[in-house]
Every structure is written in structure tokens, then in C-alpha cells.
Chain A
């Protein structure tokens, strides 16, 4: 399996609302709400850390779930968000200039 790197797109808006994150892409104006697990993945998307590591370090540790199941769900989430321009996905690390700063 090739490594997968993810980064927050600079064309999005995001804000925490209670225990969720609301995210909208400027590209297609689709609104998303991310639950705690999805928020953890989104926040860890720095373009340098492979998705498998994010899942292992962030999701499995914090949410008590097996790596296989967590990775499968995380991949589906990442593909969905990438389709709307909210996350950038690459098999190589993503340069920091393309990554949205976290807040």
C-alpha cells in the first residue's frame, strides 16, 4: 500500500461549533460538519504525516478502535473531503505552502 499524505486546503473555511467542526469549501460551497474523529483527522492533516500514522496516533489512541477499521473509515472520509476540495491528497508529502494553517 502506498503512503497517503493529506493536507488542509487553503480554499476552505472552518470553525469549531461545540464538539463538531463546520467546514466549507470555497470551490463548491458544500457545507460539512465533522464529528470528533473526523475533526481529529482534519486537524492532523499537515501534509507531512502519512494518513496511516494519523489514524494510529490520533484516532486509534483517542477513540479505541482497531487500526484496520479506523483506516478504512478514514480513507472514505479523506476521499469524500478531497472530492470537495477540502483536503489535498498525495502519495508524496505536500509542501507547507499549500497547507492551511490550523486554528
Chain B
């Protein structure tokens, strides 16, 4: 077990929220096609409120603090907030589109001891990237910022979301990252909007593209291992909890709402009305999330993929059942291994029954 895994296990055993993702604002200077947020400001927390939450998070044992948005640098008090976070010794990871980062900002970010900066780049071609962000010149500004951050010695990762408008561009972005000497991640996850609108799901990459991605060793490592048929589930797999959401991690919105994860918008409390630690320890919603093991999942517990599936409980929740399957992850398991999930088989069987019914009673008519 790696030291990081040991620390996570220890935090889970102690009930410590090791990692918190805080969106400082939902406002943004880009309007990305796949974005799940509504950008109008509905009453963001003030600087004082955020300082108070930072104190509470530090007291609760939070170590990793992800600051994101919207675009976090749109807040005029961004550097004041960042300075406070670092003074409290959080490990800060910043997620940004970097459009507003020039040399001076890059220097301040480095001086404040930010551990990592993750920057969204959707294509190496301006017409595609700017087409997705709806901000002319955004790729140029973002790449310029990456160069500034890199020259400060900061650890930078390019995050590339795979979707229909940029299906063919991930190798180009990967090359760009290598040329700039920064990290690269490719994420094929497109989520519904926070308000439940699922229209964005039409942007999800089709199966044949996912298949290519999952067979690219520069992205997945050992392809044979990654795409191997699933191992049989033992008791350990069935007793496992799905991910860190609600266990050692949670999300706080700019309005103080607490969710298990940014991708799991189950309202669990609000730090404007309650102490963070009370929400973390006593929220019925978080307690319910923590109680769920693979064994409790009606469909997934009998699925051949249960031991290796990346099932996201947040996506399952957004599909209507926190204990149900996450269709996007069923698809990934299928594309990886060629073996359909229990959910896919059940759906196919139901569809076959529906199409079979009209065949039983047929009315034939002939005209003479």
C-alpha cells in the first residue's frame, strides 16, 4: 500500500475529511459547452465567511484543499483567500482556465506555495479550444499562462476533457503538454448540469473513441491489464466503498452548500447555517453515502464488473438512484473489456421484451 493510500485509510478510519474542494465562485470568463454550472452569482460567500470556513476545515483535519470555480481568479480577493489558505498550511491545488494569469500572478502563486495548478485545455487548435470556451483568444492566453507558471517552477497539469467537439484533438493536446514539460490528463466524463439538466450528455464521446483512448498505453499504462476481463468479486470487493466522496472528501459550493463531491450534488448541509464539522459528522445524507458498499447495490452487486468498475455514485445519483448503476461507467467497463455490465444486460433484456410483445399478436390485413 502506498503512503498516500495509507494516509487515506487512516483518515477514513478516523472520520477525517482529508480533502475538500471549494468552488470560490461560479462566475466564469469562459462559457464552455460542456460546463455543468450556472454562472450567475447567487450570493457568493464573503472573504470573512471563507476565512471562517478555512479555520473550521483546518480544525477538522483537512489537508488537501482544491480551490476552483467557475474561474477562481475572477474574485478580487482571490490572492487574499489563497494567502489565508496557505497560512493555515493547506496543500492547495488550484483549478483554473488560467486566462487571467500573467507573469505577476504566476509569481504570486509560486510564492504562496501552491502545490499544483490544473488548467483546462480542450485542443491544441485555437478554433476548437476557443470554440468550446466561447472566448476568442483563450487558448493563446491559457498557453501563455502555462509558460509563466512553468517558468516559476510550479507543477502544472493540463486537464483535457474529451467530448464531441474535440474528439480528434487529444493527441495534439498531449503532445503540447509534453513540449511544455507539464502533466496531462484526459477525462471522458461529461456530467449533467448541477440543476439536473441532462442535455450536456449528448456531448459524451462515442464508443469507438473511448475504445481508442482505453487502448492508448500513454494514457492508461498497461493496456492488457487495463482492458483485462474483470476478476471475480470477493468479500473485500463487495464490502468496499466506492470512492472518497463523503468518506474522506467533500465539496463546498460558493454559496456554502456541502455535497459529497462536486460530481455528486446531494445537498448535505450549508456552512452558512451549520458548523462544517457538524455537517461532516452528523449529516444524514453523508451518513447514508458512507453506509453504502458494493454489496448494497441492487444491480451492480451482481455485475461481473463490480470489483473493477469505476462506478461514480454521484453520476448514479444524478441518474436518479444513489444505489443504482452509473450508465457512463457501465459503458466504460464495457468498452474496456468487451463484456456488458449487468445494467446493460438488464436494459437489453427489457428492450427485447418490449419489442417481442408486438410480435406475439399480429394483425394482418390484405386488400383485394
Is B360 part of the binding interface, using a Cβ–Cβ cutoff of 8 Å?
no
Is A77 part of the binding interface, using a Cβ–Cβ cutoff of 8 Å?
no
Q: Which of A21-29, A61-69, A90-98 contacts B (4 or more CB under 8 A)?
A: A21-29
Question: Which of B7, B88, B91, B115 sits near A17, CB closer than 8 Å?
Answer: B7
Determine if B155 and A29 form an interchain contact, defined as CB atoms under 8 angstroms apart.
yes
Is A82 part of the binding interface, using a Cβ–Cβ cutoff of 8 Å?
no
Q: Which residues of B contact A17 (CB under 8 A)?
A: 7, 10-11, 14, 16, 18, 61, 63
Question: Which of A11, A13, A18 sits near B63, CB closer than 8 Å?
Answer: A13
Cα–Cα distance between A16 and B62 once the two chains are bound (Å): 9
Segment 76-91 of B: residues with Cβ below 8 Å from A: 87-91
Interface residues on B, range: 20 to 34
Determine if A13 and B115 form an interchain contact, defined as CB atoms under 8 angstroms apart.
yes
Determine if A29 and B115 form an interchain contact, defined as CB atoms under 8 angstroms apart.
yes
Cα–Cα distance between A12 and B115 once the two chains are bound (Å): 9
Question: Which of B3, B18, B91 sits near A33, CB closer than 8 Å?
Answer: B3
Determine if B89 and A103 form an interchain contact, defined as CB atoms under 8 angstroms apart.
yes
Determine if B90 and A101 form an interchain contact, defined as CB atoms under 8 angstroms apart.
no
Q: Which residues of B contact A101 (CB under 8 A)?
A: 87
Determine if B4 and A16 form an interchain contact, defined as CB atoms under 8 angstroms apart.
no
Q: Which residues of B contact A103 (CB under 8 A)?
A: 58, 88-89
Chain A residues proximal to chain B, CB less than 8 Å: 10-18, 20, 22, 24, 26-27, 29, 31, 33, 100-101, 103
Would you mind naming 13 contact pairs between A and B with Cβ atoms under 8 Å apart?
A11-B113, A15-B89, A17-B10, A17-B11, A17-B63, A22-B7, A26-B114, A26-B115, A29-B115, A31-B3, A31-B4, A33-B7, A100-B89
